[in-house]
A and B are shown apart, each in its own frame.
Chain A
């Protein structure tokens, strides 16, 4: 794959750059002329989510990029989240970031996501992180490189299920970490003397209020009925009394019919009156509870209104029920599960994987050529998965990183058929000696002649077939000079 031409447009400014198929040096005599931004613009035009630099907002610009792959020409246009590809008189529209893998598949012909996701990390060495990015980490912004995924992809291994599980566990860990943060925050409030009160949540209070209101309605209904019965009983007995009846007992005693002499009337009335009083007392109790809850609700509403934002936040945090011990226990469990899953994926990746052996062989060869002692590049093939970079000094680390990158590029070509351009940003920066860089570049020219080389630098390296693209001042400056040699 080769970058043939790029046109950048920002408002009224436009810059068109044509590339040589072999060696390109984006050159400026001084720093801060936009070389890095220019390289990133190429990736952005390819569909990558590249963050803007130095006040240049990629998402406001337009990009036209022509690339060549397997003797086919692809014309890409990108503006924000929109990207189109013109190829073989066809025009395809894409929306980013959703269609990112589809775009790369269209250009490279590769469908393996594990490979596609790691192309940039293999091909590009950023001036900041690139020369220390050995086998896993961030390339630019959130674009990552992961050797396990690449190796899996190149060997055609599928760990989708395991990766999905890992992703789910990681999401859970993130959530529990947030929960744990809440618990820590609560602890801090507690330690500062701002007591944590697990107030009944508003929903619980409102449900309680609703229940009490229903209970109240039922009581009122019962009370109303009771009063009605009492009234009717009284009317009945008054009616009977008004008739002024007199009855005779079996012993011949004459008894006037009044409410006092009516059998069971007094008892029944007493029973109803007592029942009514008991219901009224219950009603009073319920009304008191309703008032108290309503008062509390009102107070809480008022409090929230007058509270400063931070107080309201603290108050809400206090109400959240988090069990710190349980959260920690779950977190520990999830982390251990994550480790097991990662180990499992790693084992699956390494098992019977020829790519690992080939990568190791290739890395060792280049490391040796660059004069790296065997004590740094271990004989063990698992060395390629190392996480131990601390023990490596600057120059040695750069040489090893370079060896790794070349090995990736070679394997990607051999296994996936993608001939990646090699893009180096300021290789002579930091602790890397000029001579070492020249040696590295010569290796590239010797072993990777099919690969396009793009170097951004303040040095005009002595390389064959190079095209120098000189940046005078700013990236979008018309005074740039192009030279071929």
Chain B
């Protein structure tokens, strides 16, 4: 066991981390928490019903090097078989970046690009190879009906290229929850990579990251980036930037204070107007929050409107993303 938990190369960790992101996003609705370099497997996702997805992420540094792919497959089957003994596995996944995971040119066409195949969907040669290993090595605990294979193209020193598929997967997820904001995919990927990578280097194998801890940073990012984008439609872009920069602390103070949030939401509900009309007709009710500022009235007006926009839109985003991730 100690060998399996031993630190692998940086590239191997990177692949594990990104495979974990991909697996988590694919199972986001049902997932509760995730662990990278878990006690039994490389990646472990606990679902809402407490069953687990056990995944083995095995990488090769050069995509055209097939010499070790069978050994890696065999190692993965061994540890997945051991994990199966726990009896809580709902899925056993083998994740690799090799385009030829069975070292068989006839089966290669099945694994072009990002691929996900259940055991039953695998070509016969691949199935036979798995059966061969399982029987020879006695990995009998593994129920092959719960086994699948994922191939993620992941190679090269150019990180943009290496993370191409991970970004694509994040984009798919963002699309499902109707988030279309430039740059947010890279920002959240970097946060997730940082959090999961740090986790992978922990020697304590019992630490888990909850779905909440993964999704809330996304909500923060979306709120920060989208709210300003929304009211840019109504205000002069330069003016917004200037006010946001200059009065950042006042904006934060009022958009994060529960007292202020409930005040605005209460009035908004009572007014029964759409967001834009409410802000343009009712902004004067909130002038008290900028009274003490030594600036011109126009800036004060813009500042109040920005605060109101933020409060009303951030609420909406929180609800949408939570719903999308089943949080």
Contact = CB atoms under 8 A, between A and B. Distances in A.
Q: Which of B212, B217, B257, B265: most chain A CB closer than 10 A?
A: B257
Contacts of A221: 249
Contacts of B261: 264, 268
B131 interface: no
Interface residues of A, number: 25
Contact of A271 (B191, B259, B314): B314
A264 B259 contact: no
Contacts of B39: none
B48 interface: no
Contacts of B213: 274
Interface string A250-292: 0000000000001111011111111101100100000000000
A319 B42 CA distance: 45
A199 interface: no
Interface SS of chain B: helix
B194 interface: yes
A160 B256 CA distance: 75
Nearest to A259: B258
Given A225-B253, A229-B252, A237 B258 contact: yes
Contacts of B304: none
Nearest to B224: A275
Contacts of B259: 232-233, 236
Given A232-B259, A271-B318, 18 more contacts: A225-B253, A226-B256, A229-B253, A229-B256, A229-B257, A233-B256, A237-B258, A262-B258, A267-B315, A267-B322, A268-B261, A270-B212, A271-B220, A271-B223, A273-B216, A274-B216, A275-B220, A278-B220
Contacts of A233: 256-259
B219 interface: yes
Interface residues on B, range: 20 to 34
A222 interface: yes
Contacts of B219: 271, 274
Contacts of B257: 229, 232-233
A269 B220 CA distance: 12
B265 A263 contact: yes
B104 interface: no
Contacts of A269: 258
B161 interface: no
Contact of B249 (A222, A232, A236, A281): A222
Contacts of B265: 263-264
Given A236-B259, A264-B262, A281-B194, A274 B253 contact: no
Interface string B250-288: 001100111101100100000000000000000000000
A267 B212 CA distance: 11
A264 B315 contact: yes
Interface of B: 191, 194, 212-213, 216-217, 219-220, 223, 248-249, 252-253, 256-259, 261-262, 265, 314-315, 318, 322
Contacts of A277: 217
A225 B220 CA distance: 17
Contacts of A264: 258, 261-262, 265, 315
Query: Which 7 pairs from chain A and chain B are nearest by CB?
Result: A274-B216, A233-B258, A229-B256, A267-B318, A275-B220, A274-B220, A272-B256
A244 B257 CA distance: 22
Nearest to B254: A229
A264 B249 CA distance: 22
Given A225-B252, A278-B220, A236 B258 contact: yes
Contacts of A271: 216, 219-220, 223, 256, 314, 318
B110 to A, nearest CB: 40
A368 B321 CA distance: 108
5 contacts: A232-B259, A262-B262, A264-B315, A267-B315, A272-B256
A264 B259 CA distance: 11
Q: Which of B220, B249, B314: most chain A CB closer than 10 A?
A: B220
B194 A226 contact: no
Contacts of A281: 194
B176 to A, nearest CB: 20
Interface in A216-243: 221-222, 225-226, 229, 232-233, 236-237
B320 to A, nearest CB: 12
B220 A268 contact: no
A277 B217 CA distance: 9
A206 B244 CA distance: 29
A225 B191 CA distance: 23
B258 A265 contact: yes
A278 B253 contact: no
A256 to B, nearest CB: 17
A331 to B, nearest CB: 38
A272 B191 CA distance: 17
A225 B251 CA distance: 11
Contacts of A274: 213, 216-217, 219-220
